[in-house]
Amino acid sequence: MTAPDPDGLLAEQLLRLTRRVHRIQKRHLEHRDLGITPAQSRLLRTLAHYGSPPRMADLAKRLEVVPRAVTTLVDGLEAAGKVRRVPDPANRRVIRIELTDDGRAALRELRGARRSAAEEILAPLTDEQRAVLGGLLDTLIDGPGADPGEGRRTA
C-alpha cells in the first residue's frame, strides 16, 4: 500500500473547488437571465479594467487565450449589444473594443451574481476562516516572493 500524496490530494481539492465555483457562478448568472456565459463575463470584467478601449490582442494576452477565442467572445457580446468595435483614432486599421451602456449595466448585474455565488460558497466559513483563506489564496495566486500588497483581491 502506498502512502497518500498530500500535494496530490490538495491539487484534487483545488480542482473540485474550481469546478464547484464555476457551476455555482453559472447558476447565478442563469438566474439573472443575462444571456452571458462565464467566459463572456470574464471578458466584460477584463474590459472594464482598461482606461481606454483595448485591442483584441490586448484582451487575448490579458485573458491568456488565443486571439480567435476573443473574437468569438466579442462577436457574441457585440450581437447582444454589450460591446462595440471602434476604430483606433491613431490608426484606423486597428480595432478596439469598448463597453456599451448595456455592457456596463450587465457588469453591475454580473458583480451581483458573483457576490451571491461567493456568499453561497463561503457560507460555511467564519470571518476568521475567510481571512485565512484569502491570505492563502493570495499566496498561491501571487507565487513565492511576491510583494504582499501587490495584486490584492478586489470586490
- What confidence score (pLDDT) does residue 79 get? 96
Give the span between the Cα atoms of 11 and 39, in whole angstroms.
Answer: 23
Sign (positive or negative) of CA dihedral 116, 81, 101, 42: positive
- What confidence score (pLDDT) does residue 155 get? 41
Sign (positive or negative) of CA dihedral 105, 109, 115, 117: negative
- What confidence score (pLDDT) does residue 153 get? 47
Residues of the chain scoring pLDDT < 50: 151-155
Q: Which three cell numbers stand for residue 107?
A: 457588469
Helix, coil or strand: residue 84: strand
**In the 8-state DSSP scheme, what is residue 91?**
-
Q: Are strands 95-99 and 83-87 parallel, antiparallel or unpaired?
A: antiparallel
Q: Which three cell numbers stand for residue 129?
A: 476562516
- What confidence score (pLDDT) does residue 36 get? 87
Give the span between the Cα atoms of 28 and 115, in whole angstroms.
Answer: 9
CB-based contact 124:62 (threshold 8 Å): no
- What confidence score (pLDDT) does residue 3 get? 67
CB-based contact 80:36 (threshold 8 Å): yes
pLDDT digits (tens, 9 = 90+) for 44-79: 999 999 999 999 999 999 999 999 999 999 999 999
- What confidence score (pLDDT) does residue 92 get? 85
